A and B are shown apart, each in its own frame.
Chain A
């Protein structure tokens, strides 16, 4: 298929349809609103359902209901909206239902601003809602990658019966880039008869299914949490994704950066190379599971003096980077969180100062 020029938000909506998801519930919020705008037209054309909830709290439970009934379902929102959905996300994880959430992050806390940010890293990777649950979190750095991650998210959510989150930022949603929708990433919804409350009439079984997150018996709750933990441990083995950049050079510093910020860092690395300074980067494509070993090994090579976590937050991912490096190299954070994306020039200056 030929490439088309599309806005990130619209491409995300189209990708979900191409992936076989025909249920979308959402509530508008900048900088994500174009997904809802696009799908309000496209979903009915594709034979699907778009319903605008009365709030993000309601949307969260619409997702839970549809997922519990065995339907492929997703939603998109931006930071404050995801906070409102977080209660439902915890319930969905506890009840082990597959669903896909997209967060086109804007600045926070509170209403914050509407410009790009990566300040929801903790919310996405460490919780957001309550309880011992994790989301499989993917962070695209281009519109094309956003499309591919959305298309892969549905089978992954079903593989683990767990919510998957795509963590973008305002720029990923707002910018246009050429995209194609790979046919190879189309997938059929899996059979959910074993667990979904999809109606006794629709499945050839006498077994009654129950979707719930309430386990009053301590052993039953502990067992449920152990089952969840086993899934997260499996994700750590099977789903870690990252992209190395300039890693085969004799680099003196390592950058860890994701999403839009990693593109700026790519320019930084190219510019520094032309000045004779070698810097490498690990770009996590999955934020949970985190590429712990890749970051550790890249930092541990001789010649690498320092590691930078560069992010549009006040220092969130840096805690995970430090955890990977285990004190073997100094780790520094650099970032901004007001909506201005740090420029290549200012990052180059920071790196040169430290080397």
Chain B
């Protein structure tokens, strides 16, 4: 069994970090995992995307044309990647910035205003953690306790951001389970 999640958005939205936390959780669960960034002449405000591949056997091609799931943090990401998501996958749309839908009838679509939720919690910077948590709660790609622990681990040396991000984790879960 192999599963792939594409995280996509603007550079600066924490795409690479939320993907890394998911990869970490999958590794802790004993899966094979690869985290592949789009690396290029990227900058803040440019496009950033990152794929996490989770598998129960050694992972072959690390380049994924059709991901199982998509977390779209901005509109260009949704337009570009929604059509290539495999049927049955989860597409999470950041409805704070993206008024559109995926236009797919064969996927599990979830619109969450992750940017607004993060702002209400105190900082727009936590939007990626809201999105990650909502996505995991919905897709159950890794156990909930596992992602929560890995988010906690990520911020354990950045204590001033801990409370914000743990709140973001909880709000994301609620949105994902709604």
Task: Point out residues on A near B: beta carbons under 8 Å.
Answer: 3, 5, 30-31, 114-115, 170-171, 174-178, 260, 263-264, 266-267, 270, 341, 343-345
Task: Point out residues on B near A: beta carbons under 8 Å.
Answer: 20, 23-24, 27, 32-37, 39-41, 58-63, 65
Which residues does chain B contribute within 8 Å of A345, judged by CB atoms?
Answer: 65
Which residues does chain B contribute within 8 Å of A177, judged by CB atoms?
Answer: 33-35
Contact status B39-A264, CB under 8 Å: no
Report which of B24, B39, B58 forms a contact with A5, defined as CB distance below 8 A.
B24
Contact status A263-B65, CB under 8 Å: no
Contact status B40-A343, CB under 8 Å: no
The complex places the Cα of A334 from the Cα of B58 at a distance, in Å, of 24
Contact status B23-A5, CB under 8 Å: yes
Report which of A3, A30, A263 forms a contact with B39, defined as CB distance below 8 A.
A30
Which residues does chain B contribute within 8 Å of A176, judged by CB atoms?
Answer: 20, 23, 34-35
A107 to chain B, nearest CB (A): 12
Contact status A343-B39, CB under 8 Å: no
Instruction: Kindly name the residue among B33, B40, B61 whose own CB sees the greatest number of chain A CB atoms within 10 A.
Output: B61
The complex places the Cα of A344 from the Cα of B63 at a distance, in Å, of 9
Contact status B60-A267, CB under 8 Å: yes
Closest to B63 in A: A341
Contact status B39-A270, CB under 8 Å: no
Among all A-B residue pairs, the 4 with the closest Cβ atoms: A267-B60, A176-B35, A266-B60, A264-B61
Contact status A175-B63, CB under 8 Å: no
A69 to chain B, nearest CB (A): 36
Contact status A3-B62, CB under 8 Å: no
Closest to A173 in B: B39
Which residues does chain B contribute within 8 Å of A341, judged by CB atoms?
Answer: 61, 63
Given A170-B39, A178-B27, 5 more pairs with CB closer than 8 A: A263-B59, A266-B61, A341-B61, A343-B65, A344-B61
Report which of A5, A31, A170, A267 forms a contact with B61, defined as CB distance below 8 A.
A267
Given A115-B40, A176-B20, A343-B63 contact (CB < 8 Å)? yes
Which residues does chain B contribute within 8 Å of A115, judged by CB atoms?
Answer: 39-40
The complex places the Cα of A260 from the Cα of B33 at a distance, in Å, of 15
The complex places the Cα of A341 from the Cα of B41 at a distance, in Å, of 18
Report which of B23, B27, B41, B60 forms a contact with A114, defined as CB distance below 8 A.
B41
The complex places the Cα of A25 from the Cα of B23 at a distance, in Å, of 32
The complex places the Cα of A343 from the Cα of B84 at a distance, in Å, of 15
The complex places the Cα of A343 from the Cα of B40 at a distance, in Å, of 19
Which residues does chain A contribute within 8 Å of B37, judged by CB atoms?
Answer: 174-175
Which residues does chain B contribute within 8 Å of A266, judged by CB atoms?
Answer: 58, 60-61
The complex places the Cα of A177 from the Cα of B36 at a distance, in Å, of 9
The complex places the Cα of A30 from the Cα of B41 at a distance, in Å, of 10
Contact status B20-A260, CB under 8 Å: no
Closest to A178 in B: B27
A226 to chain B, nearest CB (A): 43
A280 to chain B, nearest CB (A): 15
A147 to chain B, nearest CB (A): 15
Which residues does chain A contribute within 8 Å of B59, judged by CB atoms?
Answer: 263
Which residues does chain B contribute within 8 Å of A114, judged by CB atoms?
Answer: 39-41
Question: 30 A-B Cβ contacts within 8 A?
Answer: A5-B24, A5-B27, A5-B33, A5-B35, A30-B39, A114-B40, A115-B40, A171-B36, A174-B36, A174-B37, A174-B39, A175-B36, A176-B20, A176-B35, A177-B33, A178-B27, A260-B62, A263-B61, A264-B60, A264-B61, A266-B58, A266-B60, A267-B60, A341-B61, A341-B63, A343-B61, A343-B63, A343-B65, A344-B60, A344-B61
The complex places the Cα of A115 from the Cα of B63 at a distance, in Å, of 13
The complex places the Cα of A270 from the Cα of B57 at a distance, in Å, of 12
Which residues does chain B contribute within 8 Å of A30, judged by CB atoms?
Answer: 39
